[in-house]
């Protein structure tokens, strides 16, 4: 490898996609009890987590702090290697800024080394897509500075569209107003959300009913997907304990693009705490967000 790639547990990556990627742990509070999440999505008991949220348990997350980045980054720099870290969107978390503070301090300490923090402008597989690309660039021998430019230019093409089943979770995190959440719930309104160019989660449509929301997401894929940006033609689907809906979305994607390499995975808990059970998301390389 020409540089070391870091991301964290919020990137949602399964083990077979972690080659060349180092994961930083995340933690969250579940009914006041701290839970350390290593990032191993295959051992995450998603049903218990999301069922707990359905039954009124409270989950709270906190940003990855600067000390964590210093602890993990410094040994790599001491070994004479550069670093790329793929961060979740700056618009929804202070983690990006914390990583930047650590990078700035460490580059003063190690003036011959380079640390680049990528604002993925997303979360979940929205970060994971970029982490996989970063690892591929490192394996191909790209320099850290070359990779930094390529990855920053790729961010607008890392598309992510998702819907939620319960607007109450978005209300808790301030994504929608209380009035909008109440009206939406009564009318069975399902918002279609995406990470915009500033890293904020905003609505790009509203439909009535779950099936219509799944159809809407598939239509976005049909409009925007570009296979040439990823040789593996990988499309990720993540879900908050709604596997049947994920399979339905996968069927629609496959109808649109029979060559798509579709991976279905449960949605990690770090951002899952904010979108709640029933979250369904599609992540792919596209022409634009």
The per-residue pLDDT for 268 is: 95
Token pair listed for 119: 């604002």
Same domain membership, residue 28 and residue 167: no
Say how many domains are in the chain: 2
Over the chain (289 residues), the average pLDDT of each successive run of 10 is 92 95 92 89 93 92 93 98 96 92 98 97 94 96 97 95 80 50 55 83 85 96 82 89 98 96 95 92 93
The span from the CA of 108 to the CA of 98, in Å, is 16
Kind of pairing, strands 280-285 and 158-163? antiparallel
- Say which residue the tokens 């690892």 belong to: 135
- Here the CATH number for the domain that contains residue 144 is 3.40.50.10170
Q: What pLDDT is stored for residue 165 in this prediction? A: 85
196 and 226 in a common domain: yes
Please tell me whether residues 85 and 183 are part of one structural domain.
no
Q: Looking at the structure, do residues 128 and 228 belong to the same domain, yes or no?
A: no
Say whether both 254 and 278 belong to one domain.
yes
Separation between Cα atoms, residue 1 and residue 235, nearest integer Å: 25
Residue 5 and residue 138 in contact, taking contact as beta carbons nearer than 8 Å: yes
- What's the CA gap between 106 and 156, in Å, rounded? 28
Domain limits at 249? 157-285
Instruction: Report CA torsion sign: 126, 43, 16, 233.
Output: negative
Residue where a domain terminates, one of 155, 179, 207: 155
- DSSP-derived letter for residue 110 is S
Quickly tell me which residue has 């979360």 as its tokens. Answer: 123
Domain end point (choices 155, 184, 217): 155
Both 179 and 151 in a single domain? no
Examine the domain organization and report whether 10 and 149 are in the same domain. Answer: yes
Model pLDDT, residue 229: 61
Same domain, 180 and 141: no
Q: Residue 182: what pLDDT?
A: 43
249: domain CATH number?
3.30.1180.10
Pairwise CA distance, residues 95 & 66, whole Å: 8
Residues 208 and 231 in one domain: yes
Structure tokens at 270: 């770090």
Q: How many residues comprise the chain? A: 289
Whether 31 and 137 map to the same domain: the answer is yes
- Please state the pTM of the whole predicted model: 0.92
Which of 133, 155, 177 delimits the end of a domain?
155
């Amino acid at each position: 490898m020409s540089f070391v790639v870091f991301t964290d547990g919020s990137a949602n990556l399964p083990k077979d996609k972690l080659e060349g990627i180092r994961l930083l742990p995340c933690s969250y509070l579940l009914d006041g009890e701290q839970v350390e999440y290593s990032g191993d999505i295959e051992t995450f008991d998603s049903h218990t987590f999301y069922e707990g949220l359905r039954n009124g348990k409270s989950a709270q997350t906190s940003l990855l702090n600067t000390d964590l980045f210093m602890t993990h980054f410094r040994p790599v720099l001491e070994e004479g290697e550069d670093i790329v870290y793929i961060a979740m969107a700056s618009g929804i978390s202070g983690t990006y800024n914390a990583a930047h503070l650590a990078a700035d301090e460490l580059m003063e300490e190690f003036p011959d080394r380079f640390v680049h923090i990528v604002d993925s402008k997303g979360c979940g597989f929205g970060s994971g897509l970029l982490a996989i690309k970063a690892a591929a660039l490192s394996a191909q021998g790209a320099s850290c500075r070359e990779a930094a430019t390529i990855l920053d230019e790729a961010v607008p093409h890392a598309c992510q569209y998702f819907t939620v089943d319960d607007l109450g979770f978005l209300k808790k995190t301030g994504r929608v107003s209380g009035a909008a959440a109440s009206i939406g719930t009564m009318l069975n309104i399902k918002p279609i959300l995406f990470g915009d160019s500033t890293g904020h989660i905003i609505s790009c449509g509203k439909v009535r009913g779950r099936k219509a929301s799944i159809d809407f997401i598939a239509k976005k894929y049909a409009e925007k997907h570009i296979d040439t940006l990823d040789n593996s033609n990988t499309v990720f689907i993540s879900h908050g304990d709604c596997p049947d809906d994920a399979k339905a979305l996968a069927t629609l994607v496959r109808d649109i693009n029979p060559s798509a390499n579709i991976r279905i995975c449960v949605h990690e808990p770090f951002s899952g705490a904010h979108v709640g059970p029933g979250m369904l998301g599609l992540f792919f390389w596209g022409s634009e967000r």
